[in-house]
Amino acid sequence: MSNPKDINKQIYRLALPNIISNFSIPLLGAVDTALMGRLESEDYLGAVGIGGVLFSFIYWGFGFLRMATTGLTAQAFGEKDLRECGRLLLRAICIGITSSLLLLIFQWQLIDLSFLLIDTSPDVEHLARLYFHIRIYAAPATLCLHAFHGVFLGLQNARYPMLLTIVVNLVNIVLNLVFVWLLGMKVAGIALATVIAQYVGLFVAISLFSRYYRGILPAWDFWEILAFSKLKRFLNISADIFIRTCCLVFSHAVFTAKSAALSDTLLAINTILLQFINLLSYAIDGLAFAAESLIGKYKGAQDLQNLKQTTRQIFLWAFLFGGILMLIFVLFGEHLLHLFTNQMPLIEQAKPYLIWIIIAPVINVAAYIWDGIFLGATVSKALRNSVIVSTLIFLSAVYLLIPFGNHGLWAAYTLLLIARGVSLTMMAPKYLFKPGDSG
């Protein structure tokens, strides 16, 4: 068994690039929010907030292309089967391209269904629809990038996903500034910038893989790549992750829809406050991604002792990191609001809700880290069941607490994270720390 110092070195090597790249993701969201928050109407901010949730529902729903690929690739890496790592990439890309074509074909039905669930003003809906019909054309690049991220992480390489994320987000931010500030394209500019940036990222991903990992790709054999037993396992795990992710994104959609139903002003406020939650989740997810890579490797190698040791060390680092973020939110939370909008009425009305942001770092850690650990071990059924139960708790809490207004809505959202952390903690001894495959 490796000693804690060696485990910490591996965590650091994988987590630091993930944390750096993940911090650039909410930075992009922050720039989008800041640009829209400085326009003449709060409708632009609300439209981008709703548009972001719609694509979260879509792309998080297809997040299994990264998550399943990471865990399975890491396990194949632990088994020293590099050819299977290459086949996993090709399987994920085939599924990603097929899925993206379906999204493009059914885009009108998707947006119409979305606005049956979200109640907002006609002006915000019009702008959100415009955003959606432009950004949807990034789908092929986005889903293929999921596959490349998953394989790179499974191969214990966090540097390339970091490079890809930074390139995509820097291109996106620069184009946002050009399209919105210089060309006055507003919501359409934000969407078009995302489309272009995703295809730039896909080009970089293909270039990196071709240069450094071409040797692990097997000769093209359709039947070998889509072998029934391998494909069945990939699809079964993906289906569980898809259900898990849909539940989470549905919960976020309910949160946004209820925010919009309270008022356009509270929708704008919660859009801003969710940037803090995004910052937290992406920061802690840097450690969760490291957990996926390491736990998958040790499961593939059947190294139960290092799996347990890695779990302990990941949690120690995560709670330390969460405590630091909590302190930052306590000291600078009000000042950070000014980064997202210059509308003083919005800032003043947002201040009472900062308490939910302050307590989030410590409360949310368990859910985020267990997610990474369960995904790396591909214990997908337990992960799925945990989120289903947690979502039902959240929906019940929304129904009971919405009479208390926006505080009630944030209390329900906090209960969602608590339920996820507690349920996965209870299931871990049964599903993770026994020899054999309990998935």
Q: What is the pLDDT along the chain (439 residues), one digit of tens a residue?
A: 567 778 888 888 888 888 877 666 655 566 666 666 555 556 666 677 777 777 777 877 788 889 999 999 999 998 888 888 888 998 899 899 999 999 999 989 888 887 777 767 777 777 888 888 898 999 999 999 999 999 999 999 999 999 998 899 889 888 988 887 788 787 888 889 989 999 999 999 999 998 888 877 765 566 666 777 778 888 899 899 989 988 987 898 899 889 888 888 888 888 888 888 887 887 888 899 899 999 999 998 888 888 999 999 999 999 998 999 899 989 887 888 887 777 788 888 888 999 999 999 999 999 999 999 999 999 999 999 999 999 999 999 999 999 999 999 999 999 999 999 999 999 998 888 776 554 4
In a domain, 437, yes or no: no
Contact 309, 7 (CB under 8 A): yes
Q: How many domains does the chain have?
A: 1
Contact 281, 364 (CB under 8 A): yes
In a domain, 439, yes or no: no
In a domain, 436, yes or no: no
In a domain, 141, yes or no: yes
Amino acid at 430: K
In a domain, 43, yes or no: yes
Between helices 139-154 and 64-78, what is the axis angle to 10°? 20
In a domain, 193, yes or no: yes
Token reading at 170: 């820097």
- Domain enclosing residue 21, as ranges: 4-431
In a domain, 311, yes or no: yes
In a domain, 438, yes or no: no
Amino acid at 258: K
Backbone φ/ψ region at 386: left (φ over 0), alpha (ψ -120 to 50), beta: alpha
- The span from the CA of 100 to the CA of 140, in Å, is 5
